[in-house]
Amino acid sequence: MEPKIDPEGFVPNDVQLGHGDYQPLILLTGPNMGGKSTLLRQVALCVIMAQMGSFVPGSECKMTVVDRVFTRLGAYDNIIQGKSTFLIEMEEASTILHSATRDSLVLVDELGRGTSTFEATAIAAACLEKLSAIGCRGVFTTHFHEVWSYAKKLDNVSLCHMAASLDDKEKSITFLYKLSLGLCPESHGIHVARLAGIPKHVTDMAEVVSRSYRASKRPIKSILQALLEAHKQDNEPLFRRLYDELRNSLHI
């Protein structure tokens, strides 16, 4: 086989489920294009390769055998069968919730992207709690802040993120592609829009709308929690933005 990707371009990640500092379930956050979906695929492929006795691309692999690998990845519809993107999402999620056991590996990527934010958040949080009750191992990704808050009450869920470095002055983002403990309070979608070539006046307006919306919608308690998390992570640019958001919310 002819390699198509430079081996030096890969960023290694250690993944632990139910070992060390990590609970059996990981709720994974992070910026768009930050590597969340790739990490899910990495976990699935490594587990399958290990159980079939194949080489595993890592210096060490210790795992408990799983009875099944369940995945809910990507977004697509089925015009022939008359199924929307959201219906397919729900059908696949239903199969997982009815069939997964405590010995299963479950990988779910941004459940609910095909419907409204409010309903998607509620469905994602409820499905995460069901997986927690089942006791399986897995990784569950989301961009919804409320799901993060909901997950804090679940004892067997670790909150993690894919790290990124943000330069507020240059309005740029560098993806580090490293799995890290803790939350990523923002998805940095506007920065990704810049990378895609969206006109500057459009992304600038998006920032104005975003700040206004957050100031009017996000509870003060949520902003304070995000401020504390940014302080713990020594993330000064994020801390400054959250501080400004808090001032706007308090009309200071």
pLDDT tens per residue across span 103-154: 999 999 999 887 877 788 889 999 999 999 999 999 999 988 788 888 888 9
* Overall size of the chain counted in residues: 252
- The pLDDT, as a whole number, for residue 222 is 73
* Tens-digit pLDDT profile for residues 189-231: 888 888 889 998 998 899 888 777 766 666 666 777 777 777 7
pTM, 2 dp:
0.78
**pLDDT above 70: residue 38:** yes
- Average per-residue pLDDT in the chain? 85
Distance CA 242, CA 145 (A): 14
> Given pLDDT bands bounded at 50, 70 and 90, which one contains residue 1?
very low
* Tens-digit pLDDT profile for residues 43-72: 999 999 999 999 999 899 999 999 999 999
CATH superfamily of 25-186: P-loop containing nucleotide triphosphate hydrolases (3.40.50.300)
Say if CB 170 and CB 99 are below 8 A apart. Answer: no
**CB proximity list for 131: less than 8 A, separation 6 or greater:** 25, 96, 97, 100, 106, 108, 138, 140
Find where tokens 């004892």 sit.
155
- The pLDDT, as a whole number, for residue 156 is 93
What percent of the chain has a predicted confidence (pLDDT) above 70? 89
Say if CB 141 and CB 104 are below 8 A apart. Answer: no
- The pLDDT, as a whole number, for residue 7 is 63
Q: What is the mean pLDDT of residues 91-112?
A: 95
User: In angstroms, what CA-CA distances link 237 with 129, 141, 164, 169, 205?
Assistant: 33, 24, 12, 9, 20
Distance CA 213, CA 200 (A): 20
Which one is predicted more confidently, 25 or 190? Answer: 25
Which one is predicted more confidently, 186 or 240? Answer: 240
- Domain limits of the chain? 25-186, 200-250
Distance CA 236, CA 230 (A): 7
